[in-house]
Amino acid sequence: MKLDLLLTKVNVSEIINSKEIDIKGVSSNSKEIKENYIFVCINGYSDNGHRYIEEAVEKGAKAVVISEDVLFDDGVTTVVKVKDTRKALSVLCANFNSHPAEKMKLIGITGTNGKTGTTYLLKNILEKAGYKVGLIGTNVNLIGNSVFPAKRTTPDAPELSSLLSEMVRSGVDYAVMEVSSHSLVLNRVYGIKFDVGILTNITKDHLDFHKTMEAYAEAKALLFENSAVSVLNADDEYFDFIKSKSKGEIITYGVKNGADINAENTVISENGISYIAKSENESEAFYIPLPGGFYVYNSLCAAAAAKALGIPLAFSGRCFKNQKPVDGRCERVKLPHNNFSVIIDYAHTPDGLINILKSVNEMKKNRVITLFGCGGDRDKTKRPEMGKIASENSDFVIITSDNPRSENPDKIIENIVSGIEKNNYTIIPDRKRAIYFGISICEKGDILLLAGKGHENYQVLESGKIHFDEREVIREYYAENK
């Protein structure tokens, strides 16, 4: 694509050494630069892309996009100066890929918890309605039945634009994507208009990044400023705030407060949930064969979004009856016996942990044993709160490591323990040893909850990322203890 065409709608302050160039690719990673690429310098939180201009030029970049005054020994490369290189990157990627987001219906889901479960419920409804669906999320990226690894909840602009382009080529009708607060603040989805924006909930998380709950909510609200229809949780503490920021039509769902679509007469069991979904002109019995009380909100949210797209509640209800479980979301692990149960869940926030523990306690026949840790280099304020939640809602707690990253695991555990008031816990920093111990103390009817890792098949230590799959650890335990 010619450079002048590529720069369409980019807020350019100045162009130095302007040339007619045929650009072959766009990247903000100097290691990915190839001949005739344009390199976008991103000023990050731990590094500054302006430092890598010379490397990018050596690799073949014929244009660079900057937001700072820099000097480098080159008289050939075209330099494009902008105020915000993150926004410029998103626009450049959309231009380069011929605006793929505009060629399908785009549904964005944001919230602290419930995003992944809701995307799969909605994907199921849309596919049963005859549409080809793409999914972008925490667990994995999907185009129909084709699987693409997910590096982060919402990809950066080049990867996102590339994924959406592949969806267009594959004939996708609807793309359902998780939209993280980070991606909204960092302009990864800048310039994208969503047909439907969905809010699951806003609870404490990512305060290491956003600093305050107010800033966190402001970040989430950005999605609804760019959505034609907003589907909002009427029961959420931040409902009124998000509603005030929404620019399009609003559809609400809820259990406690009056909403456009309500759940009534809820029954929760170890095999699934059922309730009556009611709107102004519909009343349908829903049954979702998945354990976990949080699926009431997830399914009600998905049904509300489907209704916003013209799909009746009755159709959504029929789809839910055959809903398959999602990896790492209240996932019951197959064991070589029926003496007790092991459940894996991604819960890594206070709200996520209390929700899964409420569900597990509703299923239990004996004790609930909870094994969890907290991530390093992340919000420290939630650690004592999660310790308190685990202790007060479990019969016994095993405190271990999650992804400690560069932090000392013992210090993380100290933070967790500081919130515990009961003497019903033990500390085993090594997560594999902790899981072995948890299985070894289980009695008939117990539920062992492994919280925090969910779908992840790795652990991030100070020394780097290692392979770690809790399902494999469980199988290894039984192989060693036949």
Tokens encoding 367: 């004790």
Domains of the chain from N-terminus onward: 3-96 (3.40.1390.10), 100-320 (3.40.1190.10), 331-480 (3.90.190.20)
The predicted-structure confidence for 85-114, as pLDDT tens digits, reads as follows: 999 999 999 999 999 999 999 999 999 888
Question: Which pLDDT value is given to residue 213?
Answer: 87
DSSP string covering 375-427: -TTS-STHHHHHHHHHHHT-SEEEE--S--TTS-HHHHHHHHHTT--SS-EEE
**Burial (CB count within 10 angstroms: exposed 0-12, middle 13-18, buried 19+), residue 334:** exposed
Q: What is the DSSP letter of 333?
A: P
* Residue 183 and residue 191 in contact, taking contact as beta carbons nearer than 8 Å: no
412 neighbors 401 (Cβ within 8 angstroms): yes
pLDDT value at residue 148: 86
User: Which residues of the chain carry a pLDDT beneath 70?
Assistant: 206-207, 209
Q: How far, in Å, CA of 220 to CA of 225, rounded?
A: 10
Residues sharing a CB contact under 8 Å with residue 71, sequence separation 6 or more, in sequence order: none
- Token pair, residue 75, equals 């008289």
- Reported in sequence order, the residue ranges of 172-320 that DSSP labels E, i.e. its strands, are 174-178, 194-199, 227-233, 249-254, 261-269, 272-278, 283-288
Predicted confidence at residue 269, as pLDDT, reads 83
Please give the pLDDT value at position 78: 95
Token pair of 129 as six digits = 């309605």
